[in-house]
Structure 1
Amino acid sequence: MGKNKFVSVLIEVIAVMVCLLFIVPFVFAIINSLKTYPEMMESFIKLPSQLSFENYSKAWAVMNGFRPFINSIIITVCSIIGIVMLSSMAAYKLSRTKDRKSWVIYLVFVFAMVVPFHCYMIPLVKFTAFLNLTKSYIGIVLIYWGICMPYAIFLLHGFVKSIPYDIEESAIIDGCGPFQTFFFIVLPLMKSIISTLIVIDVIMIWNDFLLPMLIIFMDRGMRTVPLVQYNLYGEYNNEWNTALAAMMLAVTPCIIFFIFMQKYIVRGITSGSVKG
């Protein structure tokens, strides 16, 4: 009993240390975003003598106000809708079809998960330019569909396998067709795992810098939040207090969304991975 208690306490201590490892830099970022530049250069750790919100107004002006947030929301929402609908239908079909072809297709998606983006980055950008889809929402959204779907199918495939087929048989006996069975019976049961998928992909797409840089950077009116933050960094620009304020503005929507959805993360991953 004493050994089990020691192990439990040790795990809690390690968990607290890991939490502090992630929280402390975030706290320092908040503190220094409220300092003037001379005060921040004097001490990075010291609390501000007077709260200064001038950094936030300056960062907001440099980031061009609401426009990049609207761009990020449009790209993120359109990407998530497509990823969820396509991957859920694909995962359902692949898990319920018991033949070699479906298994091979599933393995192709699994293999695609381990291929780094940088391996196909240049051909992808050239092909997008060939199709004249650069500097457009459609181009970047379609690419996000392709990048995010392998992991989405992998996650949802394991969850669908845990759903008893008897439920679908009952729906079929009652007169439901394939689409009715999926949308009215199976899809509602996938709510928890889909919520997890949405959280993971929203955070990834919202914070992504590289792909928007390659596809839509040349169009100033389409730049996302991470791209406009780029304007605050440069060889002759070292106002880190303003840059930190911009960072806080950028991550705030993501943090609010994560707090609202966090209860689904562990539930969904456990359901999809352990049962599958």
Structure 2
Amino acid sequence: MRTDSAKLSARKLSIELFSIIAAFVFIYPLFFIVTMTFKTAEEAASSPFRLPSSLHFGNYAKVWEMMHFPLVFANTLLITAVTIALIIVIGAIAAYPLARRSEKPYLFFYLFFIAGIMLPFQLAMIPLYKLVNMLHLVNTYHGAILIYSSINLPFTVFLYTGFLKSTPKELEEAALIDGCSIFRAFWTTVFPLMKPVTATVAVLTALSVWNDFIVPLLFLSEQNHRTITIELYTFVGEYITNWDLLFPGLVLSIMPLLVFYLFLQKFMIKGVAAGSVKG
């Protein structure tokens, strides 16, 4: 008994030590970024790994003005929020018949969406740019929103389909017996049960759109339509990088996304497990 207890204690101790080391590995980069925001340009270049000698809060005010932060934040928020709303509505509607029907046409369309996950976006950049330019959607919010929606829709359908296969059919069948249409039965009985996977879709899409660099670089080149990532890139040059401005910009861009993730993380874990394992 003592031997088993000692083995259990040693195993528990090793797990705790590993957890502490892993937490340090993940927390240190964030700590490094935050400390860099309070340094001068000379101090950031000469001693990047040391603590700042004094706190220079003026870096944030300077970045706020140089990045036109209210404008680029509003642009990024608008594109991200509308994209999330679109793919949740379209993805849920598309996944419902794919999960409930087993005929060959529905299987074909499901495989069609799965193929969209495997094909990289870079493969279609040139023809996509020609198409968007022909439709006069370059440097427009709705052009970027349509591009992001098409990129994130396949994985959204995959998650929703896997989740719906694990939900009972009796719920919407009871609603249909009560006189509801299929559309109303879905939105009133089935969709409320999809809260975990919907939170997962929202968080993953927000990460994808908010942090993206390629699409804004190609399709949102005008100053009034730029996003946060493009403005951050202006601090990085061929011969010099403004570290004292880049890191405060990173912190300002990370904070909204971090708050959004912390708010939905418990639903996200449930949604990933249900959408990728069940069904």
Q: Please point out which of 108, 126, 129 is paired with 1:122.
A: 126
The runs of 5 or more residues in structure 2 that have no matched partner are none
Instruction: Return the match for 1:207 from 205, 208, 211.
Output: 211
In 1: Cα distance, 2:69 partner to 2:277 partner: 44
Q: Give 1:91-106 correspondences, 5 Å limit.
A: 91-106=95-110
Contiguous gaps of at least 5 residues in structure 1: none
Q: Which amino acid aligns with 2:257?
A: C
Distance 2:112 2:211 in 1: 27
Q: How many Å separate the matches in 2 of 1:105 and 1:147?
A: 16
Whichever residue aligns with residue 248 of structure 2, its letter is: A
Q: Secondary structure at the match of 2:204?
A: helix
Q: Secondary structure at the match of 2:69?
A: coil
Q: Which of 46, 53, 61 is the matching residue for 1:42?
A: 46
Separation in structure 2 between the aligned mates of residue 105 and residue 9 of structure 1, nearest angstrom:
50
Q: What do residues 214-259 of structure 1 show as CA deviations (whole Å, max 9, x unaligned)?
A: 1111x11010111111111112442212111111111111111111
Query: What letter is aligned with 1:263?
Result: K
Residue 139 of structure 1 is matched in structure 2 by: 143
Equivalent of 2:163, from 159, 162, 173? 159
Matched, 1:239 2:250: no
- Aligned in 2, Cα 1:40/1:120: closer, same or farther, shift over 3 Å? same
CA–CA distance in structure 2, aligned partners of residues 57 and 97 of structure 1: 56
Q: C-alpha distance in 2, partners of 1:40/1:140?
A: 35
TM-score, structure 2 length as denominator? Answer: 0.94
TM-score (norm 1): 0.95
What residue is the counterpart of 1:220 in the other structure? 223
Over the matched positions of the two proteins, sequence identity in percent amounts to 36
Q: Is the 8 A contact 1:91 1:154 kept in 2?
A: yes
Aligned residues: 275
Counterpart-to-counterpart distance in 1, 2:265 and 2:245: 29
Q: One-letter code of the match for 1:226?
A: T
Aligned to 2:241, the other structure's residue is in SS state coil
Contact 2:45 2:243 in 1 (8 A): no
Task: Give 1:82 shift.
Answer: 0.5
Q: Which amino acid aligns with 1:52?
A: H
Q: Deviations over 1:75-112 (max 9, x none)?
A: 00111111000000101111112200100110111121
Q: 1:12 to 1:123 in 2, by over 3 A?
A: farther
Q: Give yes or no for the alignment of 1:264 onto 2:264.
A: no
The 1:129/1:11 distance shift into structure 2, 3 A limit, reads farther
